[in-house]
Structure 1
Amino acid sequence: MVTPKYIELWGRRINDNIPEPSQEDSQSTGKHLRVVPSELEFIRQDFERRNSELEKKIAQMEEEKMNLRLDMDVQKLETEKLRKGNNKAE
């Protein structure tokens, strides 16, 4: 007598009676797998982190440069005022 279980196994068999995995099995296996980043992915992440840090440093330096230019302009104006004051005094 042939049982329903036997019919199911017979229908799924491939070469030498090795059963073909069902879609249910592959889905459950897929849930347990996790993606392991490659070395290239680690390098990319490191590059992006360093790039972000450098962009922040560049922004800070540009702000400092602008402040220094403003300070320089103020010093020039003060120097000109002092020269004009000295010229009037003479």
Structure 2
Amino acid sequence: MRKGKNKAEKDLDSLKTDYEKLHLSIRTIGLDKKSEQWRQEIKEEKIKADQREKKFQDTRVR
């Protein structure tokens, strides 16, 4: 019986470790942002893209 419990404890420890690694990865790459944060970031990137496009068009006109 002890051997089976030992395996279960090892499996649980392994799952905990995997969960912690996954959670850290999610935070590291920013997937844990709230939808409002994503919307704001997308809005800012669109503004930057529009500014670059305008600058490109202005350069072509010259």
- Aligned residue number for residue 26 of structure 2: 62
Greater RCO, 1 or 2 (C-alpha within 8 Å, sep 6+): 2
Greater share of residues in helix: 2
- Aligned residue number for residue 42 of structure 1: 6
Instruction: Return 5+ residue gaps in structure 2 as ranges.
Output: 32-37
- Aligned residue number for residue 51 of structure 1: 15
Q: Distance in 2 between matches of 1:38 and 1:76?
A: 60
Q: Distance in 2 between matches of 1:55 and 1:49?
A: 10
What whole-Å deviation, never above 9, does each CA across 1:59-84 have from its counterpart, x for those lacking one? Answer: 112113327xx7xx576654x12222
Aligned residues: 50
Aligned CA-pair RMSD? 2.9
The structure number with the bigger radius of gyration is 1
Moved over 2 A (4+): 73-78
Identity of aligned residues (%): 6
TM-score norm. by structure 1 comes to: 0.42
TM-score norm. by structure 2 comes to: 0.56
